Amino acid sequence: MRRIVRLLIVLIGAPMLVMQAAGAAEKLDAEIQSLKKDVLELNKDLLLLEEELLFPVNTQVTVFLSLDVGELFQLESVRITIDDKMVASQVYDTREIEALRRGGVQKIYIGNIKPGKHEVVAVFTGEGPQGRKYKRATNYVFEKPATPTYLELKVSDSISKQQPEFLVKQW
Amino acid sequence: MNPLLRRRLLLGCSALCCIAGAWVAHAAPSAGIESLRYRQVLYAMYQEHYTQAQVELMAGKDRGDLNSSAEIELLNGVLLYGAGLPELAMQVLPQVLGHADVNSRISDLAWMHYAKAALSIGDQTGFQRGMVSVRDALPGQLEQERLFFRANQLIAEEKLDEAQRLLESMDGAQVWRAYATYNTGVACLLKKSVECGVDAMTSVADLANGTRENTVIRDKARVVLGFWYLQQNDPARALKYLRTVSLDGLYSGKAMLGVGWAYAAQEHYQDALRYWNELSRRDTLDVVTQEGLLASGFAYNKLKSNPLALMHYRQAASTYKDLQEVLDSGMAGLRSGEVLQWLPMSMDDKTLTKELTRLNQTPGKRPILRALGVPAVRDEYRRYRDIVATTSALQEWSEKFALYDEVLDDRVKRQRDRALVLREKVKSIRPDWLEQRFNVAQRTLITSDIAHDGLSFRTDNEERQLLRLQSIYERLSRVPANKLPPNVLERYSVLRGVLMWNIYTQADKRRKDYSEQLAEIEKELQGTKELWRRMELLGNVDQLPVAKLKKRVAQIRERLKAVSLRAHAVKVATGGRFTRQMSAELESERQHVAAYLAQAQYAMARLFDEATASGESQ
């Protein structure tokens, strides 16, 4: 009799344990999802808070970098100065170049400057037409208003000149 | 969802699918900051930094830089899936259809990504719903993926002819067709439809050299065919496939083992030994190598070289015992939590591979690293790393709050200083006094306008002259007319007339000047009022934007604390689950090794018995 009871306990208990384990696993998966969602929200709120706190709108300047086509120039690195002060520099890896080539835009710098006249200089190095080493600088003088300023450094191919072009655009 | 179907789909997908690679922008914002922000999100996504891309997208929407549109919502759903939130992605993606600017391409893309998200969590209904809702051919690689999924669905429903027709219609990437054809072959063989299975496998096994993925699936098919022919007692055909498997590929060990068995089936034991001896020099943690160790002993036994057979069995047994110890130590490390301490936790695949390769040089760590190759363990490892990365990020964020406090305190201090300067500035100016002046002047102007009274704008000198004339006139009026000097009244009239003439001719100009002065007073008054308002505001710190920021910082800090606590608990739970899964894998490995050890010991005992029986001394 005792054996039968034990057998029954095993027969009923084992599937229950399996179900409990599956339930616990599902609960943990759901908690992971919920946590990740909250972390995303928190991350976004922190990003916005940090922007507002460290880069107030009246002094905020953001520099973006984009690549249009990029057949005539293989970008390797860029160095950016604002009013003769170096604010950003980067050496690109293949993944970043590919992301730029596919139409992505990199936010390369965010900082603060006083409203008024300023000059941004960007020095690009890489490989130009026929695989030659290429180094070019471009400058742009801009008026900083009391609203956020967005500058786009754009590297594009000039098909007519068969040379790369380096432009700065203020949005 | 049918686990077999899911495994097949995920197998193909893990080798070939890439969210970032498949993204095609259709209705991207074309200009302005919206375009910059949108492309900023793409920059992160193209580098497979899905969480960062998702955060940028959400922030862009909150700032108002990115307006909600079908394209943006589609990207949102895709990124959620990429960031490891498939369930949330499945909630977001159907909402794309509700947008006014949705078109059939965006809708098809939304459903395709919906199907992929459903597949990743084993939601068969969701997967079916997504798949049947895609109406037209998808752009680029996604179409290959869709056909691959469809073919595999048909295979799972045992509609093999239909699946075959679909596969034949697939053009473009050969590797997708190869994966689906391989799956057809497996389905046919499981169904005992030998002809169909062998045909499918052969077409994959005969693929020309191509990409790395191509070679992997081709080698896999060759191994399946080789072992299939071995089972069918056709070692010659088995050899044809097994000998052409790449020697440095994933399936080379299995192929070497199979080649040995094919030669053994033809009683070419020396040839078999060439492969098995080579195999036994490989990683002993590989189950194929473990089997190879036994096979060498078997071959020597067949060649009647029993001392050599005994030596190989002894070596095998000793290797198995060592393996058991290594596995035991791995399991002990898992139980003590030591493994979780040394396992690399990078979320970047490149860095992780580098670190794992380095650790693989340490013998004691290799069973653990090997177990990571098992898909279920690998998934759990990824989940755990994800949570570890999350907790580290949360820790980093919490450390930033000291800087935020510093910035805010500095801003409060600067505002207080500014209030002091302002107070000094406005001390001498009272807005009520200016207001009084303004009101009087305004009233004068209005009254003069109503009465057309030029006199209102007389100067002080003119006022004095008028009063003097008035007094003269009063004195003259008291003198009898006959006593007045001749022409005095005429002279008075001329003087008054000249004075009034001057006043009235100047009136228009003076009214204009007066209005201008009034405007200036008004401006001054407004400026003073603003100064007072700012001063009062600066005095009341709680009403300042900085105070609102402080409040926000405090709220976020609290949220961060709560999320960090939850993250810690989830990290512990996920670590536990990962450890249990890995332990189960090592345990199963240990049982495998124990079985091989028993076989080696049995073979040795048999050799001893044979020797004893024949009177030979060993």
Tens-digit pLDDT profile for residues B563-575:
999 999 999 999 9
A130 pLDDT higher than 80: no
- The residue-averaged pLDDT of B393-407 equals 92
- Which residues 11-40 on chain B approach chain A with CB closer than 8 angstroms? 25, 28, 32-33, 36, 39-40
Number of Cβ within a 10 Å radius of residue B331: 22
Name the nearest CA neighbour of B272 among B249, B250, B310, B301.
B301
Of the candidate CATH numbers 1.10.760, 1.10.10, 3.30.310, 2.60.40, the domain formed by A60-170 belongs to 2.60.40
CA distance B273 to B312: 11
What local confidence, expressed as pLDDT, does residue B147 receive?
Answer: 83
Question: B214: helix, coil or strand?
Answer: helix
Interchain contact B63–A (C-beta under 8 A): yes
- The residue-averaged pLDDT of B217-246 equals 91
Strand ranges of the sheet holding A60-68, from the earlier edge strand across to the other edge:
A106-112, A60-68, A149-158, A163-170
What local confidence, expressed as pLDDT, does residue A128 receive?
Answer: 82
CA distance B371 to B586: 7
Instruction: Give the distance from residue A29's alpha carbon to the nearest chain B alpha carbon, in angstroms.
Output: 9
Mean pLDDT of chain A: 86
Q: List residues of A whose CB lies inside 8 A of any B CB.
A: 25, 28, 31-33, 35-50, 52-54, 64, 66, 95-96, 98-100, 102-107, 150, 152, 171
B444 pLDDT higher than 80: no
Phi, psi of B247 (to 5 degrees): -70, -25
- The residue-averaged pLDDT of B128-152 equals 86
Position B618 confidence tier, pLDDT thresholds 50, 70, 90: very low
What local confidence, expressed as pLDDT, does residue B582 receive?
Answer: 94
Choice between B10 and B248, residue whose per-residue pLDDT is larger? B248
A9 pLDDT higher than 70: no
- Contact present, A66 and A105 (Cβ < 8 Å): yes
What local confidence, expressed as pLDDT, does residue B491 receive?
Answer: 87
Give the whole-number percent of chain A exceeding pLDDT 70.
87
What local confidence, expressed as pLDDT, does residue B457 receive?
Answer: 76
Task: Tell me the per-residue pLDDT of B68-123, one tens digit each, with 9 for 90 and over.
Answer: 888 899 999 999 999 989 999 999 999 988 888 888 889 999 999 999 999 888 88
Instruction: Give the distance from residue A153's alpha carbon to the nearest chain B alpha carbon, in angstroms.
Output: 11
B62-67 — which CB contacts under 8 Å span 24+ positions? B62/A44, B62/A48, B63/A48, B63/B37, B65/B33, B65/B34, B65/B37, B66/B29, B66/B34, B66/B37, B66/B38, B66/B41, B67/B29, B67/B34
What local confidence, expressed as pLDDT, does residue B543 receive?
Answer: 61
- Contact present, B582 and B339 (Cβ < 8 Å): yes
Q: What 8-state DSSP symbol labels residue A69? A: -
What local confidence, expressed as pLDDT, does residue B547 receive?
Answer: 83
- The answer to whether the Cβ–Cβ distance between B62 and A52 falls below 8 Å is no
Choice between B51 and A4, residue whose per-residue pLDDT is larger? B51
Give me the domains of chain B, ranges plus CATH numbers.
Answer: 305-428+544-618 (1.10.287), 430-543 (no CATH)
- The residue-averaged pLDDT of B487-512 equals 85
In a mutagenesis test of the A interface, which of B47, B386, B553 is the best target, namely the one with the most A β-carbons within 10 Å? B47
B242 pLDDT higher than 80: yes
- The answer to whether the Cβ–Cβ distance between B566 and A104 falls below 8 Å is no
What local confidence, expressed as pLDDT, does residue A120 receive?
Answer: 95
Query: Highest mean pLDDT: which of A63-72, A132-141, B179-188, B443-452?
Result: A132-141
Query: Highest mean pLDDT: which of A4-8, B346-350, B544-548?
Result: B346-350
- Contact present, A98 and A74 (Cβ < 8 Å): no
B55: nearest CB among A33, A40, A98: A40
- Exposure string of B359-375, with b = 16+ CB inside 10 Å and e = fewer, is eeeeeebbbbbbbeebe
A77 pLDDT higher than 50: yes
What local confidence, expressed as pLDDT, does residue B27 receive?
Answer: 53
Residue of A nearest to B411 (CA): A53
Give the whole-number percent of chain B exceeding pLDDT 70.
91
Separation in Å, CA B16 to CA A60, A97, B124, B226, B379: 42, 22, 21, 25, 17
What local confidence, expressed as pLDDT, does residue A7 receive?
Answer: 58
CA distance B97 to B113: 13
Instruction: Give the distance from residue A32's alpha carbon to the nearest chain B alpha carbon, in angstroms.
Output: 7
Tokens standing for residue B235: 């070692």
Mean pLDDT of chain B: 85
- Worst-scoring range by mean pLDDT, A98-112, B45-59, B418-432, B594-608? B418-432
- The residue-averaged pLDDT of B426-438 equals 74
Position B416 confidence tier, pLDDT thresholds 50, 70, 90: confident
Interchain contact B62–A (C-beta under 8 A): yes
Q: What share of chain A is helix, strand, coil (3-state, %, to 5)?
A: 35, 45, 20
Instruction: Give the distance from residue A137's alpha carbon to the nearest chain B alpha carbon, in angstroms.
Output: 22
What local confidence, expressed as pLDDT, does residue B436 receive?
Answer: 81
Report the amino acid identity of residue B566: R
- The residue-averaged pLDDT of B289-312 equals 92
Residue of B nearest to A37 (CA): B85
Choice between B590 and B155, residue whose per-residue pLDDT is larger? B590
Question: B344: helix, coil or strand?
Answer: coil
Instruction: Give the distance from residue B582's alpha carbon to the nearest chain A alpha carbon, in angstroms.
Output: 15
CA distance B121 to B115: 10
- The answer to whether the Cβ–Cβ distance between B85 and A50 falls below 8 Å is no
Alpha helices for B281-348 (secondary structure H): 287-302, 306-336, 338-342
B11 pLDDT higher than 70: no
- Give me the residue spans of the domains in chain A: 1-54, 60-170
What local confidence, expressed as pLDDT, does residue B383 receive?
Answer: 92
- The residue-averaged pLDDT of B186-209 equals 81
- The answer to whether the Cβ–Cβ distance between B390 and A99 falls below 8 Å is no
CA distance B74 to B89: 9
DSSP string for B432-491: HHHHHHHHHHHHHHHHHHHHT-GGGG--HHHHHHHHHHHHHHHHHHHS-GGGSPTTHHHH
In sequence order, the β-bridge partners of residue A135 are A125
CA distance B301 to A26: 52
- The residue-averaged pLDDT of A82-99 equals 93
Contacts of B19 (CB under 8 A, 6+ apart): B45, B48, B50, B78, B81, B82
B260 pLDDT higher than 50: yes
